[in-house]
Structure 1
Amino acid sequence: MFNKSNGMRGWLNFAMLIAFIAVMLGVGNLAIKQSVDAVIVASAERKATNWSHYLSTAMPDLPVLIKTGEATAEQQAVIEKAVQVADVFRFKLFDASAQMVLISDELGKPLEAGAQTDHNGHARMVLDTGHAKIDVQDGSQKENRPDLYVEAYVPVTSESGDRLGVVEVYLDQTPVANLFRSKFVSLVTALGFVVLFSFGVPFLAYFFKMRQQVRTDAKVRLLSSRDQLTGLPNRSTFFQNVEDARRAGRLDLRKAAIIFIDLDNFKAINDTFGHKAGDAFLRHVGNAISSHLANGDLAARFGGDEFILISANRTMADLKRLIESLRKAVNMPVRADGIALTGHLSLGVHFDTLDDLSLKDRMHKADIALYQAKLTGRNTWVLFTPDLEEKIARRRYVEECIIAGFPQERFEVHYQPLIKHSSSEVVGFEALLRLRDAKGDFIAPTEFIPVAEDAGEINKIGKWVLKEAIRTAATWPEPLFVSVNLSAKQFDDGKLVEDVRTLLESAGLPANRLELEVTENTLIEQEEQVTGQLRAFSKMGVSLAMDDFGTGYSSLGYLWKYAFDKIKVDRSFITSLTDIDGKSLHVLDTIIELGHRLDMTVTVEGIETADQVHALDHLSCDHFQGFYYGVPMPAHDLAPFVAENLAQVKVRGDRPVTGAEKRVSR
Structure 2
Amino acid sequence: MLFAFIAVMLVVGKFVISGAVDDVIEANAERKAGTWASYLVKSVPDLQNLIKSGEPTAAQTAVIDKAVQVADVFRFKLFDEEARVVLISDELDRPLEAGAKTDHNGNALTVLTTGNPVIDLQDGRQKDNRPDLYVEAYVPIVSAAGQPIGVVEVYLDQTPVAALFERNYLYLVGALGLVVLASFGVPFVAYVLKMRQQVRTGEKVRLLSSRDQLTGLHNRATFFHKVKDALDAGDLDLGKAAVIFIDLDKFKTINDTFGHKAGDEFLRHVGNAISRSLTPDDLAARLGGDEFIIISGKRDMPAVERLIEDLREAVSEPVRVDGIALTGHLSIGVHFDPAPGLDLKERMHKADIALYQAKLMGRNTWVRFTPDLEEKIARRQFVEECIVAGFPQNRFEVHYQPLIEQTTLKVVGFEALLRLSDGDGNYIPPAEFVPIAEEAGEIAAIGAWVLDQATRSAVTWPDHLFVSVNLSARQFEEGTLVACVKACLERSGLAPERLELEVTENMLIEQEDKIIHQLNALNALGVSLAMDDFGTGYSSLGYLWKYKFNKLKVDRSFVSSLTGADSKSRHVLDTIISLGHRLDMTVTIEGIETEAQVEALNSLSCDHFQGFYYGVPMPAQELAPFISNTIETARRKGGAHKLRLAEKPEGPARDAG
Give TM-score scaled by structure 2 length: 0.82
1:110 to 67, 70, 92: 92
1:582 aligns with 2:572: no
The aligned counterpart of 1:174 is 163
Matched, 1:557 2:547: no
Q: Which amino acid aligns with 1:268?
A: T
Q: Distance in 1 between matches of 2:233 and 2:388?
A: 47
Give the direction of change, closer, same or farther, for the CA distance of 1:42–1:217 in structure 2 (3 Å limit): closer
Q: 1:560-575, aligned counterparts within 5 Å? A: 560-575=545-560
Match of 1:341 in 2: 326
> 2:84 & 2:491 partners in 1: Cα distance?
60
Q: Is the 8 A contact 1:41 1:136 kept in 2?
A: no
Aligned residue number for residue 511 of structure 1: 496
CA contact (8 A) 1:54 1:220 kept: no
8 Å Cα contact 1:50-1:217 kept in structure 2: no
Q: 1:230 offset after TM fit, Å?
A: 2.0
Tell me the CA shift for residue 348 of structure 1.
1.2
Instruction: Show CA shifts across 1:480-537 (max 9, x none).
Output: 1110111111111211112112221222222211111111221122121112211222
- Cα shift at 1:282: 2.1
Taking a change above 3 Å as real, the CA distance of residues 355 and 285 of structure 1, as seen in their structure-2 partners, is same
1:150 corresponds, among 127, 133, 144, to 133
1:132 to 1:522, Cα distance in 2 relative to 1, 3 A: closer
Q: Which residue of 1 aligns with 2:520?
A: 535
Tell me which amino acid in the other structure corresponds to 2:166.
A
Does 1:233 find its partner at 2:218? yes
Cα shift readout 1:594-650 (whole Å, capped 9, x = no counterpart): 11111111001111122221221121110011111111111111122112229939x
Matched, 1:382 2:383: no
Deviates more, 1:122-131 or 1:488-497: 122-131
* 1:290 equivalent among 243, 258, 275: 275
Alignment CA distance shift 1:358-1:39 (3 Å): closer
Structure 1's 119 and 366: CA in aligned 2 closer, same or farther, altered over 3 A? closer
* CA distance in structure 1 between the aligned counterparts of 2:110 and 2:407, rounded to whole angstroms: 89
How far apart are the structure 1 equivalents of 2:14 and 2:518? Answer: 83
Q: Percent identity?
A: 56
1:611 aligned residue = 596
The alpha carbon displacement at 1:24 in A equals 12
Range with bigger deviation, 256-265 or 383-392: 256-265
Q: In 2 relative to 1, CA 165–625 (structure 1 residues): closer, same or farther, beyond 3 Å?
A: same
Alignment of 1:469-484 (within 5 A): 469-484=454-469
SS at match of 1:492: helix
Question: Given residue 348 of structure 1, which amino acid in structure 2 is its aligned partner?
Answer: G
Cross-structure match for 1:136: 123
**Which of the two has higher C-alpha Rg?**
1
- Using the alignment, how far apart are the partners of 1:216 and 1:77 within structure 2? 33
Residue 431 (str. 1) matches residue 401 (str. 2): no
In the TM superposition, what is the alpha-carbon distance from 1:120 to its structure 2 partner?
10
User: Which whole-Å deviations, capped at 9, do the CAs of 1:6-49 have from their partners, x for residues lacking one?
Assistant: xxxxxxxxxxxxxxx9x999999999997887666555555556
Alignment of 1:585-600 (within 5 A): 585-600=570-585
d(CA) in 1 for partners of 2:617 and 2:109? Answer: 66
What residue number does 1:446 align with?
A: 431
Letter in 2 for 1:102: I
- Say which SS state the counterpart of residue 548 (structure 1) adopts: strand
**CA–CA separation in structure 1 for the residues paired with 2:569 and 2:346:** 51
- Is the Cα contact below 8 Å between 1:58 and 1:78 reproduced in 2? no
Aligned partners of 1:51 and 1:220 also within 8 Å: no
Shift in Å at residue 176 of structure 1? 2.6
Could you tell me which residue of structure 2 aligns to residue 101 of structure 1?
87
Q: Which moved more, 1:451-460 or 1:118-127?
A: 118-127
Q: Tell me the alpha carbon deviations over residues 105-139 of structure 1, each in whole angstroms, 9 at most, x when there is no partner.
A: x5xx7244578x99999947867999965442449
Q: Is the 8 A contact 1:610 1:659 kept in 2?
A: no
Q: Does the aligned pair in 2 maintain the 1:63–1:164 contact within 8 Å?
A: no
Question: Secondary structure of the residue that 2:158 maps to in structure 1?
Answer: strand
Q: Of the candidates 250, 256, 264, which is equivalent to residue 271 of structure 1?
A: 256
- 1:545 aligned to 2:530? yes
Equivalent position of 1:16 in the other structure: none
Deviations 1:426-468 (A, max 9, x none): 1111000000002121000011001111111111111111111
- In 1: Cα distance, 2:77 partner to 2:551 partner: 69
1:69 Cα offset (Å): 5.1
CA distance in 2, matches of 1:323, 1:133: 43
Counterpart residue identity of residue 241, structure 1: K
Amino acid at match of 2:629: E
The CA RMSD over aligned residues, in Å, is 4.4
Name which of 521, 525, 542 aligns with 2:510. 525
* Mapped partners of 1:168, 1:56: distance in 2: 12
Instruction: Decide whether the 8 Å contact of 1:91 with 1:170 is kept in 2.
Output: no
- 1:254-305 C-alpha deviation (Å, 9 max, x unpaired): 2222111122222222333333322222222222222222232222222222
Aligned equivalents of 2:168 and 2:186: distance in 1? 10
Q: Is this contact kept in 2: 1:606–1:626, CA < 8 A? A: yes
Q: 1:195 to 1:264 in 2, by over 3 A?
A: closer
Q: Which amino acid aligns with 2:87?
A: V
- 1:281 partnered with 2:266: yes
* Residue matched to 1:3: none
Q: For structure 2, list consecutive stretches of 5 or more residues without a partner in the other structure.
A: 112-117, 646-657
Q: How far has the Cα of 1:471 moved from its partner?
A: 1.7
Q: CA deviation at 1:78?
A: 11
- 1:366 maps to 351
Stretch of structure 1 that moved more, 222-231 or 402-411: 222-231
The alpha-carbon distance between structure 1 residues 250 and 55, as it changes in their structure 2 partners (threshold 3 A), is: farther
> What does the per-residue CA deviation read over 1:336-388, in whole Å, with 9 as the maximum and x for residues that have no partner?
12212122221111122354522112211111111111112221111112211
Task: Say whether residues 1:332 and 2:317 are aligned partners.
Answer: yes
Separation in 2, partners of 1:125, 1:307: 30
State the secondary structure of the residue aligned to 2:630.
Answer: helix
- TM-fit CA distance, 1:213: 5.2
User: How do 1:453-464 residues align onto structure 2 when only pairs under 5 Å count?
Assistant: 453-464=438-449
Say whether the 8 Å CA contact 2:403–2:413 is kept in structure 1: yes
Normalised by the length of structure 1, the TM-score is 0.81
Do the aligned residues in 1 keep the contact of 2:78 with 2:87 (CA within 8 Å)? Answer: yes
Report the alpha carbon displacement of residue 244 of structure 1 after superposing the two structures with TM: 2.5
**Would you say how many aligned residue pairs link Structure 1 and Structure 2?**
623
In the other structure, the counterpart of 2:74 is 90
Counterpart residue identity of residue 309, structure 2: E
Conserved? CA contact 1:603–1:625, under 8 Å:
yes
8 A Cα contact 1:57 1:236, kept in partner: no
